[in-house]
Chain A
């Protein structure tokens, strides 16, 4: 596995802190963990939202949603002024554990996903889902 220098991680420590605080106190996430080992190109967070935040577009509405605790979400804190490229995004996705990302409503293996947490100068944070591959939009 590719190894990344800790300098990258230190440069983004403040982003991690802002997003961590925002998730913990505003969005009420639990089990928040920071991932800052050298296997990740950037510091990442993972945690469990109070209710599932990603609902499969093809899921049967009559079937109750899975328990929130089973949906662990990955979060990638970035600064609004940064520049990214497909290569950098691919590196982040490749560093995520391959394991179990669940199955979608049609029985196919689910693609990796993360939440892009964009931090603006005034500490506003906005969240966007990024999927690794072609994933049908939730509302269509």
Chain B
């Protein structure tokens, strides 16, 4: 892309600082760095879409209620995400507060941009177009994609040699990094890969369906090389049971 422009160190610092950092994320048990990538992977029905919906809620709910109050972009390729579900999930998060729930949720929803993609080409062009949207809104610091592997089989038609799904997903994460440049934007994406990506992501959340609705989440932090396991239920939101 042709975004290279000359700016002074002060200008660069000012531009980067404008985009607020995301705070503590309960699912990671950690405060991610501004440009980290979170991969959410696991079998069908393990709760990937619900988890990414929950991450979006944590991001857009207001700062005054100990959330992030940021702006976010959601790229919808699998079309399992439902804005009605997001509304219900935020309602669940706010049930113990004494605020006007509908007003807070509507205000939070206005900070989210949804983009529906219907083809591999449209997804790739949408990723390229993110640069323009990020420049227009300096408060966007979170991009969520559900899922990055949705058009893998379409891509096989366009390439000369058969690639693996991991290779395809890694290519898209690299395109996202190129588009962000120096901007403080964190990314969470889901995929349907059988094995988690070994490189290019800072956190991997591997979801595994368990018996009697008790599922297992392995969170791998590749920066320090640690794994920790948590168990969860799928209800109106992702509820940890340990």
State yes or no: do A and B come from one complex.
no
B: which residues have CB within 8 A of A? none
